[in-house]
Amino acid sequence: MKVNYLSKEGFDKLKGELRDLVTRGRREIAKQIDEARSHGDLSENAEYDAAKEAQGKMESRISELEKIISNSRILDDKNIDNSKVYVLSTVTILNKKTQKEMRYTLVSKDEADFNKGKISVDSPIGKALMGREVGETVNVRVPAGTLELEIRNIERL
């Protein structure tokens, strides 16, 4: 299994979600199942079926979170070289075609949130930027075509 590098914030968020599902989530689902059982015949009980389906989805997410967390390492960005792009690098890039600057922080797929400027290291742009230095230009194939991006700045937040 591949090691999943996370920020302390991202690791804590996943641990919090897991803790919530294991405690509050399981308690609520058990309550819903008990209520549905009290309504009689389980063979034609839509509430019971829905509660059991929700339980299955929740247990699947719990399993997924446990797997992610067990394979995760918290990345200490103090020990990372700022001259190259790595996980947790905040990179300012220039789209050469549009002359528009963009700023992204490269994170694991589990922390990615485009609206917050966090892109996955496994995304096409993330993969193209990894290991590169300021001043380098990369060509990235995306669904809309090919982007020519120049790395303007690399920093740690």
The answer, yes or no, to whether residue 144 has pLDDT greater than 90, is no
Distance CA 24, CA 35 (A): 17
Residue 2, pLDDT > 80, answer no
End-to-end CA distance of the chain: 28
Condensed to tens digits (0 to 9), the pLDDT of residues 65-77 reads: 999 899 888 876 6
What CATH number should be reported for the domain holding residue 59? 1.10.287.180
- Whether residue 1 is predicted with pLDDT greater than 70 in this model: the reply is no
Paired tokens of 96:
């050469």
pLDDT at 36 (0 to 100) = 84
Query: Which of the pair, 78 or 70, is modelled with greater confidence?
Result: 70
Q: Tell whether pTM > 0.85.
A: no
Same structural domain for residues 37 and 89? no
In this structure, is the dihedral angle defined by the CA atoms of residues 65, 68, 73 and 78, taken in order, positive or negative? negative
- Which of 115, 94, 148, 97 is closest to 105 using CA atoms? 115
Tokens linked to 52: 């059991």
Structural domain of residue 17, as residue ranges? 4-74
CATH of the domain at 137: 3.10.50.30
92 and 151 inside one domain: yes
- In this predicted structure, the answer to whether residue 82 has a pLDDT above a threshold of 80 is no
- Same domain for 69 and 84, yes or no, is no
